[in-house]
Structure 1
């Protein structure tokens, strides 16, 4: 049993025990709330007719009930957090057993025009993204997708160190991810930042001091009336004056409420994520920089966001019909909190995008750290610009089950090209995607599925899965030509590792052979490197004329009328093809 699975099983056990204790506390909390309600009802019944006693009982009951509801809500949140932590560990055990097709697959990020994402199954069902992604926020999911598609080769060693540090903090990562998974927002982080940036204030500066004075006077009137010193008419008149003042601004307050009701949940949850970042120490450059972006000298950013969330919540609660009308009439509460909200926006709105970006970053990078933690035997490629482009021992595809995976060694130097031949189902396509993922994961800073790897960073570009387009009135062959033109244009200005699967599939054999040979010559003339898989054995003759070209193959053997594959990458040209055998075997032809 592997160490990660042991860890996750232990976490499930620990959190389940806490969860059972929380459920008991919630049951007790519910009982106490019911008892307070029944006692209040009995008190009102017993002292009915004594207005002062009834007023005191109701007031005390409301205070006690608010306190108990707050405590109960905290218990419910902790219960949900424990459930999320348990679900996370259960998910990781499933994924380590290669059961992950139920997770978010990033289908929306598929882009046929991208350098490689469609060809290497980066997104969609059964994809690398689905296997790695554990983001809890939409912005985090988007950012993780951008990390996988940016084709960036700079700063790899810094990324490796950041991912390794996050991998070493499983408790922190899981808690952060669990909190993120509980975030239920109506507006995205980008929409919130945009609204704050474009907000136009409407509340005059004198409203806040007026509301404070108004509250003091109201309290004095209520007390004097309660003591029988002052007539209730004065209190009623003062209340009407408050309602009139509230009414002057009510339309604009309602307009503000339309927006704040949607963003309150964002700030309520994001301050908890910021708090997790503030309370953790990071030593690697990238992580420390992202943490420092949320730190302030005078007050914690989490406290600033929490205060704003409270302002938003109080404003919404103050709009409850009867209760809101009474409180606002005596205290101008809504106007005061509108003023608080506007002051907060004026002071902090410029910083919000930076704070949200840090949350997004950690949400995405936690997935990368989680991947490293789950695969402690994977290796970080040794980065060196003087090494071969790839020199890998025991390379495998990370989505295949390790028990049945066939690993291969290969080394490809800068500006070399491999022509790979092989029978159908012999492993060519899997090998091409394995090499693609070695490069992609190396560029991202992830460890790769290998025993040892040396890597000279290079950008990736592929053409493996061309499709026609009826809506664009575009044939399969023309689509492939466009893709090849895209590659030719790209390699004019930069080094790329080019991976091609069967060039010019959409034309006849003779034309294909001539065109493929000329295209190989074109690629060899660039400063790029690559692998070309083909069934056209005539293309292998390029190795006789071009020293940069090497031939490799995957073999298939027919023994006792059965087909066997060893999925091993070998130098040379494939001599055994199997299409005719399979047609007969499946009784498609005689």
Structure 2
């Protein structure tokens, strides 16, 4: 249903693009013809000494200028519609597997100190970040990564939920913002955090101003050069005026060379940041002028509007950048630098801009980043048919309670939903190979990450305490440090037990515990580990092939439950239903799988 909706939208955009392309061709040729006719008319007026042709030529040149502006307007519209099409096509790709080719993976935000980022596929290739990220600024990507890994604090979760609901209900505005963000990402060189941070740090630096002497020279020297040039032009020059003019040029060249490096250190971050300034301006302007309903979006808007808002500031910065572009024109720069004290006037303009707006730049960019993060977190609601906004409770008792919970990275039509209710308990999950144990643990973990970030989750109902989610799934050895897989897992488990001493609500997810050692040691180690984690503030979920751990249901110090996944055979083929069932598993399939791949006959 949603796929058809998005495909229909793409068709509409293609129609608009076709019209714009036709108009661009038409205006493009008309623009050339008008310019040539204007030149011909002016030449004819000159040759025939006829003012009528002059007038026609001037009118045609004015028409040419108007057509150039109209052409650029149509070109901008085409760029906008193209970006919008790419956004909608992104939704279609998320309905299949093409999203795995998305560029943004979030791998730069992976930290070894938080194992769940890799264990739950929150960041990296094939991750939740890659699936939902629609942000293109470093601040937007960083805000999304932080939301998925750290979640929001306390009431911030519900405030974010309200904001995301409002964005989902206002599809046109959300699409408009995503389109503007997509246009920010059009820069072929990309947008690096270093580029933005260099400008932000420059803007946050202390206020400065040029000395009175330098301000005076910036006025006097160009006047001397201009005055001597006028005298030369009207043939009234004298040796003294010629000398003064020459000295004026030489002094400006010397001052420009002396201060060039200092000026360049200021101008370079401005020019690099301003490569996307039109897109920043449009994005922030859209937020600043929208009428929001929920408090969270209103607060973001208020943060933008404080101290006059970014519109006037970005307009001023854009004008300064246009003036600085002359530095890329060797001959032009030599002329203005040696006659007009160009760099010094630009520095003076920047110092005034900095004093008025410098301290606000980071705040504006963070608002942009937070809005991009909200748009990304809303993606689940944009592409999934069945989702719900979870209830997250601030309680000391760790619990989860959900029904029809699915993994967001599995195609919705093939994903299988499961239900479970656990509260301050231990859950042992058994099952044969490939039956769904690991995926189930990840499904819980990744949906909790979405819930704590304020996003919708894939379930018909979902309640959970705010818990620290600790995982032990993708354990890696380290040859350089002499750490085996088994020892690496021991260190991970030790970290869990240490964190348990904080007595904060925790959910522990351990996949195939201690699989790197022999069965006797594994069962002993797993039993002791589970007992060590059986605290009133911890819920433990462990998947295993060791049926002996199922005996904890009868011998554990607290509530302990057995669940399992199983398989069945049809026409001598193995089949899985991926449905969580109560009790311990009673089947195995290793021999079948060995036979299936040809290892045994």
Pairwise same-fold verdict (TM > 0.5): yes
1: distance between equivalents of 2:217 and 2:403?
75
Instruction: Look up the match of 1:448.
Output: 457
How far residue 218 of structure 1 moved from its aligned partner, in angstroms, is 8.6
1: distance between equivalents of 2:242 and 2:57?
21
Q: Is the 8 A contact 1:88 1:178 kept in 2?
A: yes
1: distance between equivalents of 2:196 and 2:267?
18
| Structure 1 residues 214 and 26: alpha-carbon distance in aligned structure 2, compared to 1, 3 A threshold | farther
Instruction: Look up the match of 1:284.
Output: 294
C-alpha offsets along residues 299-351 of structure 1, whole Å, 9 cap, x if unaligned?
44212112112112212236634444555666545432321112111222111
2: distance between equivalents of 1:223 and 1:57?
33
TM-score of the pair, normalised by structure 1 = 0.88
2: distance between equivalents of 1:500 and 1:157?
29
Instruction: Look up the match of 1:488.
Output: 497
1:521 maps to 2:531: yes
1:81 maps to 2:80: yes
Q: Is the 8 A contact 1:168 1:373 kept in 2?
A: no
Instruction: Look up the match of 2:411.
Output: 401
Larger mean CA deviation between 380-389 and 348-357 belongs to: 380-389
Gaps of 5+ in 1: none
Instruction: Look up the match of 1:568.
Output: 579
| Structure 1 residues 332 and 88: alpha-carbon distance in aligned structure 2, compared to 1, 3 A threshold | same
| Structure 1 residues 221 and 37: alpha-carbon distance in aligned structure 2, compared to 1, 3 A threshold | farther
2: distance between equivalents of 1:310 and 1:139?
24
How far residue 538 of structure 1 moved from its aligned partner, in angstroms, is 0.7
C-alpha offsets along residues 419-460 of structure 1, whole Å, 9 cap, x if unaligned?
011111111111111111232111111111111222222221
Q: Is the 8 A contact 2:136 2:182 kept in 1?
A: yes
| Structure 1 residues 337 and 66: alpha-carbon distance in aligned structure 2, compared to 1, 3 A threshold | farther
2: distance between equivalents of 1:559 and 1:402?
25
1:342 maps to 2:390: no
Instruction: Look up the match of 1:189.
Output: 196
| Structure 1 residues 25 and 224: alpha-carbon distance in aligned structure 2, compared to 1, 3 A threshold | farther
| Correspondences of 1:337-416 after superposition (within 5 Å) | 337-375=346-384, 377-385=386-394, 389-413=399-423, 415-416=424-425
2: distance between equivalents of 1:223 and 1:63?
30
Q: Is the 8 A contact 2:277 2:314 kept in 1?
A: yes
Query: Which structure shows the bigger proportion of residues in helix conformation?
Result: 2
Q: Choose the corresponding residue for 1:249, options 238, 244, 255.
A: 255
SS in 2 for 1:182: helix
1: distance between equivalents of 2:34 and 2:329?
23
Instruction: Look up the match of 2:540.
Output: 530
Q: How many residues align?
A: 582
SS in 1 for 2:306: coil
Q: Is the 8 A contact 1:136 1:180 kept in 2?
A: yes
2: distance between equivalents of 1:504 and 1:128?
27
Q: Is the 8 A contact 1:8 1:90 kept in 2?
A: yes
1: distance between equivalents of 2:269 and 2:533?
55
- Root-mean-square deviation (CA, aligned residues, Å) is 3.7
SS in 1 for 2:579: coil
Instruction: Look up the match of 1:12.
Output: 10
Instruction: Look up the match of 1:168.
Output: 169
Instruction: Look up the match of 1:504.
Output: 514
Larger mean CA deviation between 354-363 and 60-69 belongs to: 60-69
| Correspondences of 1:554-565 after superposition (within 5 Å) | 554-558=565-569, 561-565=572-576
| Structure 1 residues 318 and 527: alpha-carbon distance in aligned structure 2, compared to 1, 3 A threshold | closer
How far residue 290 of structure 1 moved from its aligned partner, in angstroms, is 1.4
Instruction: Look up the match of 2:589.
Output: 578
2: distance between equivalents of 1:442 and 1:192?
35
Instruction: Look up the match of 1:139.
Output: 139
C-alpha offsets along residues 550-575 of structure 1, whole Å, 9 cap, x if unaligned?
11111123455332322111111111
How far residue 464 of structure 1 moved from its aligned partner, in angstroms, is 1.0
1: distance between equivalents of 2:62 and 2:226?
17
Larger mean CA deviation between 84-93 and 335-344 belongs to: 335-344
SS in 1 for 2:600: coil
